[in-house]
Amino acid sequence: MDDLQTLRQQLGDRLVTEPGRVAQHAHDSSRAEPAGTPLALVEASSTADVAAALAWAHAHAVPVSVRGAGTGLAGGANAYDGGLIVSLAGMNQILSIDQNERVAVVQPGVITAELDAAARLEGLFYPPDPASARSCTIGGNIATNAGGLRCVAHGVTRDAVAALEVVLADGRVLRTGSRTRKNVVGYDLTSLMVGSEGTLGIVTEATVRLKPVPLGTPCSFRASFDDLDSAGRAVTAIVGGAATPEVLELMDAASVEIIESFQPSGLTVPRGAMLVGQTVGVTAAAQAAAIAETCVAHGATETEVSDSDALIEARRLSNPALTARGLKISCDVGVPVARLAEIFHGITEISRTHDRLVSTVAHAGDGNLHSTVDCADDDIAAADAVLDDITRLALALGGTITGEHGVGSVKLHELPWQLDEVSRATQAAIKQALDPRGILTPGRGI
């Protein structure tokens, strides 16, 4: 495109057209394939770069995909044929940490775990904790309203975002929210942007809330169950009980076996499922012991309480372990915590009906499940049918088609299963108002 030269004059070597470098940024970690050959890549280093790229794309009606670390699992960051890729990976600075106000100001390319580590040097921590925290970025977390292991105690990304700087589709810069604890001025545009999957604007700076590191030594716990139903009932009892875990994760037997094969740690594979978690604070050990007792009361055959992080680290290995095993067809659904036993029972029946191995791990404390189906590369459609059945089951139990990975392109066909016509029309009207030419992540998310 001849007019690309105009953008090059503004961006210089930050506008990349070399096919190999462009291709490296053309896809995320999902099974969705990039749609054709993108026009160019913008390796943004500032808000001004992003604004220039979007103003140009808006003027020329060029579709834009937004990419951070490429860890997304819903196809939301994949490139478009003839489109522009905006990479935020280079905008990776922690601009400030305010110990008094307990906030940090960061660019979108900051790795989530690196922000947490920097905050801990100040006696604080960043609450959202996706399993991929060591590789995913704050910008990607904001785009999908990511959750993670600590959601049961601290909520999701939206709960930690105080203010945003966002470049709109036409290149204008919008600032939302404030550093104050209370703010009811105008519409809540911050919450609107969080979870919008790059369809309404590109986040170039975020002010996020931090919390004090709890006193005392964290304590981990494990409980093994002969069946998933019992494990689900134990989770419901824990969440409704007096002890408050910071982490509460569930892995079925297939997942534990895959993780243990990937990186042996001495875990005994249960017959049904393994519940792992962590408590914090000065009463952490007592809380962990109480949770272990609750598990025994609901059928646990073996329990363990420890001050080691090994059990939590094992849970973090689920995604790389599944990938190494060749299991890549996965879904992300959520149900009310009280329905966990029912959905685990239903997943077992779906697995039998389709004669497919289904491996499930869950952020059990908030009812968010990730099921992965075994299949060959030429059999993805059959595996997707299994996941569709799991999604329909989640909806029948009062749940949602996605808890934290987002809709992207992978789940777009499921959107009408959850949202009625009025809801979809309202979202389309918001999209039209903020992106009238439809250039930002078109055909995904909504």
Q: What is the pLDDT of residues 167-189, one digit of tens each?
A: 999 999 999 999 999 999 999 99
Domain 326-406 sits in CATH at 3.30.70.2740
Given a cut of 80, whether residue 315 has pLDDT beyond it is no
Q: Strands 64-67, 84-87: parallel, antiparallel or unpaired by DSSP?
A: parallel
Q: Would you place residue 116 in the very low, low, confident or very high pLDDT band (cuts 50, 70, 90)?
A: very high
Phi, psi (degrees; rounded to nearest 5) at 397? -95, 15
Phi, psi (degrees; rounded to nearest 5) at 224? -105, 145
How high is the pLDDT of residue 328?
66
How high is the pLDDT of residue 380?
85
CA distance linking residue 291 with residue 239, whole number of Å? 10
Given a cut of 60, whether residue 2 has pLDDT beyond it is no
Domain ranges in the chain?
4-87, 94-212, 219-316, 326-406
CA distance linking residue 272 with residue 295, whole number of Å? 14
Which region among 42-56, 132-146, 316-330 has the lowest average model confidence (pLDDT)? 316-330
Given a cut of 80, whether residue 319 has pLDDT beyond it is no
Contact 39, 64 (CB under 8 A): no
Amino acid identity for residue 62 in this structure: V
Q: How many residues are present in the chain? A: 446
Q: Would you place residue 122 in the very low, low, confident or very high pLDDT band (cuts 50, 70, 90)?
A: very high
Averaged pLDDT for residues 342-367: 92
Highest mean pLDDT (candidates 98-107, 220-229, 267-276, 367-376): 98-107
Phi, psi (degrees; rounded to nearest 5) at 3? -70, -10
Q: Do the domains 326-406 and 4-87 match in fold?
A: no
Domain 219-316 sits in CATH at 3.30.70.2190
How high is the pLDDT of residue 216?
93
Averaged pLDDT for residues 331-337: 94
CA distance linking residue 156 with residue 149, whole number of Å? 10
> Residue 20: enclosing H or E segment and its boundaries?
helix 19-24
CA distance linking residue 258 with residue 322, whole number of Å? 7
Q: What is the pLDDT of residues 57-84, one digit of tens each?
A: 999 999 999 999 998 989 999 999 999 9
Contact 440, 64 (CB under 8 A): yes
Contact 209, 161 (CB under 8 A): yes
pTM score, whole prediction: 0.93
Average pLDDT in the chain = 93
Per cent of the chain over pLDDT 70 is: 99
How high is the pLDDT of residue 308?
81
Averaged pLDDT for residues 32-39: 88
Given a cut of 90, whether residue 317 has pLDDT beyond it is no
Given a cut of 70, whether residue 214 has pLDDT beyond it is yes
Contact 128, 141 (CB under 8 A): yes
* Topology given in CATH for the domain delimited by 4-87: 3.30.43
More confident residue, 156 or 317: 156
Q: Would you place residue 327 in the very low, low, confident or very high pLDDT band (cuts 50, 70, 90)?
A: low
Domain 94-212 sits in CATH at 3.30.465.10
How high is the pLDDT of residue 367?
93
Given a cut of 60, whether residue 1 has pLDDT beyond it is no
More confident residue, 240 or 205: 205
